[in-house]
Structure 1
Amino acid sequence: MTARIEENRSHPRLPDLLAAYHLVNQAEKGTAVESADRLPAVYRAEVEDPAGAFADDTVLLGTPPGADLPAGCVVLKAPYEGRAPEIKRLWVAPEARRKGLAKALMTEALRRAAASGALAVRLTVWNWREEPLALYRALGFETVASWDERPDLVCLEKPFDVIERLTPDAVRTHAVTGLAALLVDAVDSGASVGFLAPLAAHQAAAWWTRVADEAAEGVRDVWAAHGPDGGLTGVVTLVRAGTANGGHRGEIARLLVHRSARGRGLGYRLLATAEAHAAASGLTLLVLDTQADSPAERLYRGAGWTAAGTIPDFAADPAGILRATTLYYKRLG
């Protein structure tokens, strides 16, 4: 089971979560107050009327697996004056911690910020908050020059990988370098993507060269993610059905994210990019298959895909061991 993340700035549980956040924050700053009605006016306004205080922002609430009520929240502030959007008010109730809820909230906030077209997202955190700092750094945030001069406040920013559709020529150009490296990395890390380990770089490059030919024929579309340094960090392809009665259908294939870029929502972004293009080009149904009980299943289920069934011993993993495969589908529109 996974945490449930929802957007709702009017949820009746939100004032309590914000109050708890601000009361702890005031205490840590050495300016403790006894109750929410004694908070500074700007924070008290958030507690009393979250919908009004965050009218232009995205407010996410997280409910732990098996629970009925949200136990955490985070706010993605709308960008202004050309600045990157900012993440604020990340809070998880003490009894719900160490269950992945903070990471789930942050991952969804990052996904939404990236989907909005932002080139980066930023936040601030007190330097004594070691656990949140560790989470932010694990999600790819880096310390930057301060935009807030309060002592002990650390300013962090995360640049987003840029996703672009590759032309057939671009696929050929990247085949022997970035794309081949992504495929080799996936096989080396145990992903069942049609190859046995060890996969030689020239074999991976040859496969991508064939993909370039398919792209030129209009059979397959390819999107790649570029990191801040220009290197490829992920890729996804969309294959169109080749039969006359399957023109409405496409297949998601080879969704790969380099190990160095995992856990930051890039897989969701690549998948969403391919889905959006499929819908815009008139496809109404997508399918895919993935190794049963693999981490990829969590991604697809979280993105709204439905499991159609599992086939035992369908394909060998990179070590040559036969594994079950689960078939998934998603209706578009």
Structure 2
Amino acid sequence: MASSVTVRAVSAIEDLEIARLLLREYAAYLNQSLGEEHICLSSYEQELVGLPGAYASPAGVILLAFQDDEPAGCVALKPLKPERAIEREESACEMKRLWVRPQFRRLSIGLVLAQALIRYAQSRGYTAMYLDTVPAAMRSANRMYQELGFVPVERYTTNPILGAHPMLPVEFFRLSL
């Protein structure tokens, strides 16, 4: 278990730099796992330069996980546009960019981050959380999402980072909060 893991919200310039570092590692992983033809790095880099951007508090957040003071992973949350939600009356958010560095995997850090993000979303009054994922590249994460209670839903958005490549299966999930 991840007993010496601490999680904190990005709140300083130094935290943003750590988030950018982790998210660039995430992009490199996706490129390696899926092939660079499936990843729109220009859109992704624009997102990183503009951080916190859509993840700005109080409606959003970027959480960082540290194992013994070493950056181990991150996850982000942003509001979901009401017209994208499956149930139109809900206040919805979207989990994005869950990443745990390879050397910190199998320590439940992804679970710790996801649970912290769910608590944050609940504290902000969100009633549903959505996410999109690529099963081929994120098998462990997909199992974890289902264990947390996320259920498959129809496509609710397009992902400009992953593009719309027909050979790249993207799955969509929703969690009632």
TM-score, normalised with respect to structure 2: 0.77
Query: CA offset at residue 145 of structure 1?
Result: 1.4
What's 1:153 paired with?
A: 170
Query: CA offset at residue 80 of structure 1?
Result: 2.5
Q: In structure 2, what is the Cα distance between the partners aligned to 1:30 and 1:40?
A: 12
Q: Contact 2:65/2:74 (CA < 8 Å) preserved in 1?
A: yes
Compare CA radii of gyration and give the structure with the larger one. Answer: 1
Which residue of 122, 133, 141 corresponds with 1:125? 133
Structure 1 residue 18 corresponds to structure 2 residue 19: no
The percent of aligned pairs where both chains have the same amino acid is: 26
Question: Larger RCO: Structure 1 or Structure 2 (Cα < 8 Å, ≥ 6 residues apart)?
Answer: 2
Q: In structure 1, what is the Cα distance between the partners aligned to 2:116 and 2:102?
A: 21
TM-score, normalised with respect to structure 1: 0.43
3-state SS, counterpart of residue 156 of structure 2: coil
3-state SS, counterpart of residue 116 of structure 2: helix
What's 1:104 paired with?
A: 112
What's 2:62 paired with?
A: 59
Gaps of 5+ in 1: 34-38, 161-333
Q: In structure 1, what is the Cα distance between the partners aligned to 2:157 and 2:55?
A: 21
Q: Contact 2:55/2:77 (CA < 8 Å) preserved in 1?
A: no
Query: CA offset at residue 79 of structure 1?
Result: 3.2
Greater Cα offset, 13-22 or 24-33? 24-33
Structure 1 residue 50 corresponds to structure 2 residue 51: yes
Residue 116 to residue 54, structure 1, CA distance change in 2 (3 Å): closer
Query: CA offset at residue 119 of structure 1?
Result: 1.6
Residue 141 to residue 53, structure 1, CA distance change in 2 (3 Å): closer
Residue 145 to residue 133, structure 1, CA distance change in 2 (3 Å): same
Gaps of 5+ in 2: 86-91, 159-163
How many matched pairs?
154
Q: Contact 1:18/1:46 (CA < 8 Å) preserved in 2?
A: no
Aligned AA (2:175): K
3-state SS, counterpart of residue 25 of structure 2: helix
Residue 100 to residue 158, structure 1, CA distance change in 2 (3 Å): same
Greater Cα offset, 135-144 or 76-85? 76-85
